[in-house]
Structure 1
Amino acid sequence: MSQSPNRMFDEFAKLMTDAAGVAQGAKREMETAFRAQIERFMSDMDLVSRDEFDTVKDMAIKALDEVEKLEERLKAAEERLAALDKNTKPEDKA
C-alpha cells in the first residue's frame, strides 16, 4: 500500500512535466506566429530596415560634408574674384 501514493505522485509529476513542456511549446509557437504577423504588418507599411536607414544616413552625412567643402571653395573663389575686381582699374575694364 505504501507504493500506491508514491506511484500516484510520480504519475502526477510526469503529468506536470508534460504540461510544462506543452506550455513552453505553445509559447514558442505563439511567439513565432506573433513575430511573423509583426513582420508582415511592417512590410505592408513600407518601413525600412535599420541597415537601410543607417546606409542612407551615412550617405547623407557624406553628402553634407561634401556640400560644406564645396561651399568653402565657392566662398574662396568669390573672395578671389572680388579681390581681382577691386584691383582692376576702371579704365582697364573698358
Structure 2
Amino acid sequence: MQSENRVFDDFVKFVNGAAGTFAGMAREGEQAVRDRAREFMGGLDFVSREEFDAVKQMAAAARDDADALKKRVDELEAALKAKGGASTPI
C-alpha cells in the first residue's frame, strides 16, 4: 500500500512539474508574439495619437483660414464690381 502511494505521489509531482513547464512555455510564447507584433508595427509608418491630433488641429485651422480668405476675396470682388471695375475669376 505504501509503495502505491509513493508511485502516485511521484506521478502527481511529475504532472505538476509538467504543468508548470507548459505554463512557462505559454507565457514565453505569448511574450515572443507580442515582441514580434511590436517589432512589426514599429517598422511601419504609424503616427502617435498626439501627432495625429496635432495635424488634425492644424488642418482645421488652415481650413478656417482658407474660408476666411475666400470670404474676403468675395467681398473685395463684390466691392470692385459695385464700383464698376472688372473682376476676373480665378
State if a TM-score over 0.5 links the two structures: yes
Distance in 2 separating the partners of 1:84 and 1:41: 59
Matches within 5 A, 1:38-77: 38-43=37-42, 46-48=43-45, 52-77=47-72
**Deviation (angstroms), 1:82:** 1.5
2:30 aligned partner: 31
Identity %: 31
User: 1:31-60, CA deviations, whole angstroms, 9 ceiling, x for partnerless residues?
Assistant: 3334334444444xx3245xx332232123
Query: Number of aligned pairs?
Result: 85
**Deviation (angstroms), 1:73:** 0.9
Distance in 2 separating the partners of 1:83 and 1:38: 59
Alpha-carbon spacing, 1:41–1:70, altered in 2? closer, same or farther (3 Å): closer
Distance in 1 separating the partners of 2:33 and 2:67: 53
2:75 aligned partner: 80
Select the structure that is richer in helix: 1
Query: Which consecutive segments of 4 or more residues in structure 1 shift more than 6 A?
Result: none
User: 1:58-88, CA deviations, whole angstroms, 9 ceiling, x for partnerless residues?
Assistant: 1232122112211221122112212221232
Structure 2 unaligned blocks of 5 or more: 86-90
Moved more, 14-23 or 64-73: 64-73
Distance in 2 separating the partners of 1:3 and 1:68: 86
Q: Which has the bigger relative contact order, CA under 8 A and spacing at least 6?
A: 2
Name the TM-score, length of structure 1 as normaliser. Answer: 0.67
Report the RMSD for the aligned CA atoms in angstroms.
2.4
